[in-house]
Structure formats: C-alpha cells, structure tokens
Amino acid sequence: MAIEQHRYFLTMLIWALILEIFVIAYYLSQQRFDFTVQFTSILMIITIIGIYAIIHRIRKEIREGYV
C-alpha cells in the first residue's frame, strides 16, 4: 500500500477522532449518559486502534525500505 493511501486514511481517521471528541464533550457538558455517549466512546476506541494500526504499518514500511 502506498504512503499516499496511508496518509489519506490517517487524515480521515484523525478528523473522525476530532469530531468524536467534540460529540463526547458536548454530551458530557449536557450531563447525558445515554446510548449515544456509549456508542461514540466505542467508535472512538475503534478509531484510535485504526490510527495506531496505520502508523504502525507506515513505520514498518519505512523500516523495511519500501518508501
């Protein structure tokens, strides 16, 4: 997978993480702890795992000299 494609997915996941942080901050400021907050928290965990996986793959490609 090319670095440009990694960069595209990484940018998309970082924007998703930023928006999820805003959503959780909004709901917590309203003191609402319903399904939406739980669902957004699960999505945030999945997003963080995705960001970690892409960064790990980029570092692996750079180390092995595929760039």
- Helical spans, DSSP H, in 1-67: 3-29, 35-64
pLDDT of residue 56: 93
Domain definitions of the chain by residue range: 3-64
Residue 67 has pLDDT above 70, yes or no: no
* Whether the predicted pLDDT of 2 surpasses 70: no
Average pLDDT over residues 56-64: 87
- What are 3's two structure tokens? 């670095």
Higher-confidence position of 50 and 66: 50
Nearest to 17 by CA among 37, 38, 45: 45
Residue 1 has pLDDT above 60, yes or no: no
pTM over the 0.85 mark: no
